[in-house]
Amino acid sequence: NAGVMQNPRHLVRRRGQEARLRCSPMKGHSHVYWYRQLPEEGLKFMVYLQKENIIDESGMPKERFSAEFPKEGPSILRIQQVVRGDSAAYFCASSPRGTSGGMQYFGPGTRLTVT
């Protein structure tokens, strides 16, 4: 059973470009979470999604960031017009159930560098 998959593992973007980060949850998991780890800081929650629904986006910056989890295909975290402060590791996690507090399984992360 493959774990949570994220791609790309490393992404370099110039200021002003768009970054698209993809996450495929574990088989049978319909709950996806995105977290961000800034350099020398802890992981911070960004957004929680179920298939075709955003459940909680309280940690998502109001501008430039968006997330989706379509009926088919991976979850996508999109960052428009990237700035240097967006450089971080972005982790995706999945669980088989959400509000019942199931264990979250994390992917290897995407390391975004904005030049």
The residue ranges that bind another protein (CB under 8 A) are 31, 33, 35, 41-45, 48, 55-56, 58-59, 91, 93, 95, 98-101, 103-109, 111
- For residues 17 and 37, which CB has a smaller minimum distance to another protein in the complex? 37
For 105-115, letters b (16+ CB in 10 Å) and e give: eebebbebebe
Least distance to another protein from the beta carbon of 100, Å?
7
- For residues 44 and 51, which CB has a smaller minimum distance to another protein in the complex? 44
Angle (CA) 37 106 74, round 5° = 100
Angle (CA) 58 61 62, round 5° = 90
Least distance to another protein from the beta carbon of 14, Å?
23
Nearest by Cα to 35 from 16, 11, 52, 60: 60
- For residues 43 and 76, which CB has a smaller minimum distance to another protein in the complex? 43
Least distance to another protein from the beta carbon of 59, Å?
8
